[in-house]
Structure formats: C-alpha cells, structure tokens
Amino acid sequence: MLRSLHVKDYMKTDLLTLNPGMDVLHATKLLLKAGISGAPVLDKHGRLVGMLTERDLMQVALQGYYHGVPGGLVNKHMSPDPEYVSPEQGILTLAEMFIKGKFRRYPVVDNGRLVGMIDRSDVVRAIGKFYPA
C-alpha cells in the first residue's frame, strides 16, 4: 500500500554538501558541475545548518549587479535552518507537503544528522513504482 512507503525508501544518499565558510561562487560552480539546483550546508560537525538554492544564487547575482562584484561566503547567502523530514516519514505526507509548500526538495535528517535528500521527482518515482503502467 502506498501509505506504507517511506522517505528512506526513495531518498538520495549520494549528496553534494557545502560548508558555510565556502566561497559562494565556488559553491555555484560545484552545483553547476553536479547539475543540481541546491545543496545542503553542513557545519564542521556534520549538522545541517542551511540550504543553498538557485533562489539564493539569483540573489547573489542581483546583489553583485547593484553593489559590485558578486561573492561572499555561503553562510551569508544560504537559507538558514531549513525544514527537513524524517527517513520514517510517509511518502503521502511528504506529497502533501510538496503540494502545499514552496519547496522542491527536503533534507532528510535522522538523529540530528543529514542522511539524504528527497525531492518531488522521488515522490513521483515512488508513486510510479506502486502504480506501474
């Protein structure tokens, strides 16, 4: 049954992570090279402290346009204290979060540690596996 599917069954675990002290332009290049639109930011203890997203990077570009050269550290541009989900959370609950919310992806945190990421396409994949054509 679709209700029995969990985030842990469909989350991505091979992740690009960033650190708060990294140069934001270097982080941008890493995101572009990986072909992804955002990444979690972890402190030196591996705790999730933020997300750096395309929206954040567009703000970097605008600030650079208005105030000179774009740049700075990731921690000045990231979205701090992001919402996250549990690996045990149900896929249908997550689908509701995506429908009602503004986010395209959520970090998956277990016991204070980042263990994965899940996005809208992962939820659709779960639905597709449960309801094969």
User: Residue 3's pLDDT is what?
Assistant: 65
Dihedral of CA 52/57/58/63: which sign?
positive
Residue 133 corresponds to which tokens in the numbers above?
A: 């054509």
Contact 81, 75 (CB under 8 A): no
Residues in the chain: 133
CA distance 76 to 21: 9
pLDDT at 32: 93
DSSP run (H or E) holding 117: strand 113-119
At residue 61, the pLDDT reads: 78
End-to-end CA distance of the chain: 16
User: Bridge-partner residues for 109, per DSSP?
Assistant: 114
The SS3 assignment for 7 reads helix
Which residues does the chain have with pLDDT short of 50? none
| Alpha carbons 87 and 97: distance in angstroms, whole number | 15
What domains can be seen in the chain, in order of their start residue? 2-130 (3.10.580.10)
Model confidence, pTM: 0.86
Rg (CA), the chain: 16
